[in-house]
Amino acid sequence: MTESVLVVVTAVLLLSVSEVITDCPPSSGIYLRHSGNCFFNGSYFTDSSIRSSATSLRLECGLPGETLSTGQWIGPDGEVPCGSGNKHNVQCTTGSGASLSIHINPANGYLGADGDGQYMCCLPTSCSTSGTNIITATIFRYSEIESFAVADLPSDMTVYPQEYKLSCTKIGFPEYGISMSIGATALASYTNCHDINNNNCPGTTDSSAPVDNTVRYTVNITWNGVTVSSGSISQSATGDQSYQCVLDNPSGGDDRTRTLTIKVPANTPSSFNEVNKTATTITVSWTALDSSDADGYVVNITSDTDTVQTVQVEGSNNNTITLNGLRGGTTYSITVRAYQQLLGPASSTISVQTLPVINSINWTLVSSNTQLNNTQYRIDCLTTTDINPSTDVYWLVNGVMKSNSMATSIDALTYNNTLLVYPDPLGVSVNVTCIAMIGGVNYSQSVILLAPSGPPNNVRGFILNTTSIKVNWTTSSETNGYVIEYTTGSVTRNVISTSEGEIVLTDLSPMSTYTISVYSYTDLLSVNSTTVLRFDIPSPVISLSVSNVSTTGITVNWTIPSSNNYVTYYTISYTPSCPQLSSVNETVFVAPHQSTTTYSYTLIGLYSGINYTITVRTGNVLGGSNSMSVKKDTISTAPTGVPTSLSLLQPINNLTWNETEKRLHLSVVDKMTVSGLVFVIISIYLRYNHGNCYPNGSFFSDNTIRGKPLECGLPGANLDDGQWIGPDGEVPCPGNKQNVQCTPGSSGANLSVQIPNHLQSSDGDGWYKCCLPTDCSDPNTSIIFANIFNFAQIESFTVADLPSDMTVYPQKYKLNCIKIGFNRYDISMRINSAALASYTNCDDNNNNNNNPCPGTDLSGVVENTVRYTITITWNGRNVSSESISQSTTGDQMYQCVVQVTDQRTRTCSLTVTVPANAPSSFTVVSKTATTITVSWTTLDSSDADGYVVNVLLLHLMYF
């Protein structure tokens, strides 16, 4: 049977019947004319529009090029007399040529009720004459329905539910009520409409229409095969749908009613059933309806709740269709409907399952999983014999296409397609999909060989004796067992399996290093978790040091040489230098495999001021390592009490006293002054204007020491040729050098410098050195420095916040330049010739917040101490600060420059060390499924402190 698809297109023009003819009067053909406009046949006119004595307002019927013979107007109640008399107040007038006009004489009143309706004009002869020309017009009272039509009926019957529109056009009198309904159910109803005053009804006014108050009312209809609905109103319906538009005029006898009918099948096709099926097709049939009850059929097929196909079949006699492109082994629900202008009700649903293409898929372990990634698995996929296994079957293994399968025939209906797979890489579940292609459609079934989500955790080896190691790990509920691989440096490889959470490895060789890898498995093996164990006595500790030294304690710190050293105890020995005291040995037991490699142990109860030799030795069940040693003195302490029984034996001046504490004889007294046994600390200092003391390297402006002395003193000493030396040589005492004047103190060891008030500043700007109590050539003299400067100076230029974590990139740090002294200046920071920050006309004493320079007032000891900070970003190629960027290679050399107008420029430099070259010979040494070992040629220690290795993950896409 030949099948065809019906495509129906319905177009309804919702135009006014009373359209105006552009060419008026026309050159030929009968026409209507009113108020200077010409109209088509069937036009509408209100009685008020022709109720006038004016000729132009009469309704004229004309026929160009003809002479009136026996033409006539015939109304709903008979002929309208011409010349004299009227019919229901409508009277006829003869014009020139072939022309007849009708109108209502206002003197006679209005159109009579029986005169309401359609009028026919016949020219040039009477209406009974064969071949005469005829045109019609409707003259009505109050308001009228110009048209009632259906629009947008569906042409594609496969779209469901179906939607269309009803349009009812009202003309004439502005006051009315209007409704549209199906049966007794009103789909839309509007009362007390008034088109002029308040326009309270939702019609669409066509102001360009020739008839007054032309308003169109539209209702949207939805048909679901059972009910007609519009908005919230619905009405069940069967078969043809009959609609009414009712226009309610103020005079009850003048109500207007129009009807229309939409053809809908009332019955469903009977005997709907399955005729045939394959893996991809289903053929169905039904008993066809009579041609008067159906124009065609729509067959709908769904799977679950999803529509798969909806097919439109043209012709009422077509009653069979084959549905193609279906999926094998799938259950479908199928219905059929007849259609005319709309769809009829659905048949009962039939359920049909297509034939399967793939029956099953399974896997079998072929070899032992101790073969690791050489373990072999066989996949069996049973398919129908309707396909060619050599061309129509292929595989996806984790998304990668495979075609190297073998097929054998099991029986007349089944092929067994087999594929061998390997776990590569380990730790990844293998999803194997068997795909059979038939009719351009792929059918598939999958099987997953599961690998654990991760390796066993916390793999640890424990030395039991000289030939055995116990290995254990954290077990997992998702595994079926474990495989253990262990190798030595000589690449002796052993693989065993167990279902337990630990295993003992025997017959091992001592003084070897074993790499032990543990895999878990469900169907496939996981990646391994590895531990390295030195089956040997541990290596000696490294980085042995001491800290937190007190009078009675020392903390010892050390690091084990590598994490694969198996350590179960440490022996700490400490021997005092005093031969009368004994050595002490302490053993500290530790659990092996500690996460830290750095240890500390505090020795307590030691003697004050004694040198101790401290040794640390590692050990395990196989023995102890060589020891490592360090020497350190405990802190000496002075007596805390007052000596008693003080006596001086003459004549040898032997001074004796009683001890103040038990172990005083173990302390060392370096200096003492016999004056009540008071211990004195001696230190050189700076003091300004007889007030505060300052540390070595302090800064002082020339204004600060004008008339106010800067004193250098050494307590407890007497002046013996001490001196001040400035940037241009010694400052004579007394006397001056470049207006800097030196004055010795009246007693003790002290010298002061100042600038007398009557002298101006000179070129003595720079560093000054004070030496006490002797001159600076004496190697035993005490020395202290001070900087005396004119105007402004740079107190310091430093780098801050240098990154400690070199893995964070790009890197950021700060430069701080602290300016002191004179309040008006320019300042900049730069790298090479690029200024990273530059500020001019700075004024620290501007109290109106108008200082243009963003420094931070530190309220320092020196007047106008202001810090300027910039943040540096280094991306490996460019140094940048905000929008300023400068490329650089190797060490980064910065300068801070302070300039006071017409004065010397202050410049301070600093260098941030950066390797200029990359490590060479960077190569891959080895790799596993989870590791990559790389190496490079190291740089000289002067060129590098360490290295950072960055690993990027590249996502590869396969097509």
Name the band, by pLDDT with cuts 50, 70 and 90, for residue 817: very high
Residue 42: pLDDT above 50?
yes
Which residues have CB under 8 Å from 874's CB, separation 6+? 810, 811, 812, 813, 880, 892, 914
Mean pLDDT over 930-959 rounds to 78
pLDDT of 1 reads 37
Is 239 part of any domain?
Answer: yes
Q: 231: which DSSP letter?
A: T
pLDDT of 642 reads 53
Name the band, by pLDDT with cuts 50, 70 and 90, for residue 849: low
Same domain flag for 316 and 364: no
Mean pLDDT over 663-669 rounds to 35
Domain boundary among 88, 116, 140: 140
Cα dihedral 485/488/491/496 (nearest 10): -20
Is 741 part of any domain?
Answer: yes
Mean pLDDT over 116-120 rounds to 95
Is 680 part of any domain?
Answer: no
pLDDT of 105 reads 92
Residue 512: pLDDT above 70?
yes
Q: What is the pLDDT of residues 853-875, one digit of tens each?
A: 989 988 888 889 999 999 999 99
Q: What is the pLDDT of residues 185-199, one digit of tens each?
A: 999 999 999 998 877
- 390: helix, strand or coil: helix
Q: Which of 262, 250, 247 is nearest to 203 (CA)?
A: 247
First CA to last CA across the chain, in angstroms? 44
- 254: helix, strand or coil: helix
Same domain flag for 340 and 394: no
Q: 536: which DSSP letter?
A: S
Residue 181: pLDDT above 50?
yes
Indicate the pairing of strand 644-649 with strand 685-688: unpaired
Share of the chain above pLDDT 70, in %: 91
Same domain flag for 135 and 46: yes
Q: What is the pLDDT of residues 311-362, one digit of tens each?
A: 999 999 999 999 998 888 899 999 999 999 999 999 999 999 988 899 899 9
Domain boundary among 353, 383, 412: 353
Same domain flag for 119 and 180: no
Strands (E), 340-392: 343-346, 350-353, 358-365, 377-384
Rounded alpha-carbon distances, angstroms, from residue 9 to 151, 154, 156, 167, 268:
11, 8, 8, 19, 24
Is 935 part of any domain?
Answer: no
pLDDT of 646 reads 55
pLDDT of 147 reads 95
pTM of the model: 0.45
Residue 934: pLDDT above 50?
yes
pLDDT of 674 reads 36
pLDDT of 83 reads 85
The amino acid at residue 144 is E
Same domain flag for 163 and 131: no
pLDDT of 664 reads 35
Mean pLDDT over 295-304 rounds to 95
Is 647 part of any domain?
Answer: no
Mean pLDDT over 610-635 rounds to 91
Is 420 part of any domain?
Answer: yes
Residue 458 CA to residue 792 CA, distance in Å, equals 64
pLDDT of 953 reads 62
Residue 670: pLDDT above 80?
no
Number of domains in the chain: 8
Mean pLDDT over 572-584 rounds to 84
pLDDT of 902 reads 85
Q: What is the pLDDT of residues 711-760, one digit of tens each?
A: 999 888 888 888 999 988 898 888 888 888 898 887 788 888 888 877 76
pLDDT of 156 reads 92
Mean pLDDT over 45-59 rounds to 91
Mean pLDDT over 284-303 rounds to 95
pLDDT of 896 reads 96
Print the SS3 string covering 718-784. CCCCCEEEECCEEECCCEEECCEEEEECCCCEEEEEEECCCCCCCCCCEEEEEEECCCCCCCCCEEE
Name the band, by pLDDT with cuts 50, 70 and 90, for residue 547: very high
Residue 959: pLDDT above 50?
no
The amino acid at residue 265 is P
Mean pLDDT over 384-411 rounds to 87
Same domain flag for 755 and 742: yes
Instruction: Note down the domain range covering 169.
Output: 143-262
Triad 145, 150, 154: Cα angle to 5° = 170
In this structure, of 204-218, 271-285, 645-659, 766-780, the range with the lowest mean pLDDT score is 645-659
Same domain flag for 174 and 151: yes
pLDDT of 672 reads 32
- 506: helix, strand or coil: coil
- 149: helix, strand or coil: strand
Is 655 part of any domain?
Answer: no
> How crowded is the C-beta side of 854, counted as CA atoms within 13 Å?
5
Tokens standing for 216?
């169109």
pLDDT of 386 reads 79
Q: 116: which DSSP letter?
A: -
Q: Which of 500, 453, 496 is nearest to 474 (CA)?
A: 500
Cα dihedral 271/276/281/283 (nearest 10): -30
Name the band, by pLDDT with cuts 50, 70 and 90, for residue 87: very high
Q: What is the pLDDT of residues 459-494, one digit of tens each?
A: 888 899 988 999 999 888 888 899 988 888 766 678
Q: What is the pLDDT of residues 533-546, one digit of tens each?
A: 888 888 899 989 99
Same domain flag for 796 and 907: yes
pLDDT of 133 reads 96
pLDDT of 118 reads 96
pLDDT of 677 reads 32
Residue 673: pLDDT above 50?
no
pLDDT of 657 reads 53
Residue 57 CA to residue 94 CA, distance in Å, equals 15
Same domain flag for 597 and 624: yes
Domain boundary among 219, 235, 262: 262
Mean pLDDT over 138-163 rounds to 94
Q: Which of 153, 175, 174, 155 is nearest to 163 (CA)?
A: 153
pLDDT of 26 reads 86
Cα dihedral 292/296/301/307 (nearest 10): -110
> How crowded is the C-beta side of 767, counted as CA atoms within 13 Å?
8
Residue 102 CA to residue 75 CA, distance in Å, equals 11
**φ, ψ (nearest 5 deg) of residue 636:** -80, 150
Same domain flag for 777 and 695: yes
Same domain flag for 796 and 783: no
Per 3-state DSSP, what percentage of the chain is helix, strand, and coil (rounded to 5)? 5, 50, 45
- 374: helix, strand or coil: helix
pLDDT of 416 reads 94
Residue 363: pLDDT above 80?
yes
Share of the chain above pLDDT 90, in %: 49
pLDDT of 712 reads 93
- 222: helix, strand or coil: strand
Residue 81: pLDDT above 50?
yes
CATH number, position 303: 2.60.40.10
Q: 547: which DSSP letter?
A: E
pLDDT of 308 reads 92
Strands (E), 621-664: 623-624, 628-633, 644-649, 654-658
pLDDT of 267 reads 93
Is 727 part of any domain?
Answer: yes
Radius of gyration of the chain (CA): 57
Same domain flag for 856 and 756: no
pLDDT of 954 reads 52
**φ, ψ (nearest 5 deg) of residue 915:** -60, 135
Mean pLDDT in the chain? 86
Q: What is the pLDDT of residues 551-574, one digit of tens each?
A: 899 999 999 877 778 888 899 999
Residue with the bigger pLDDT between 562 and 771: it is 771
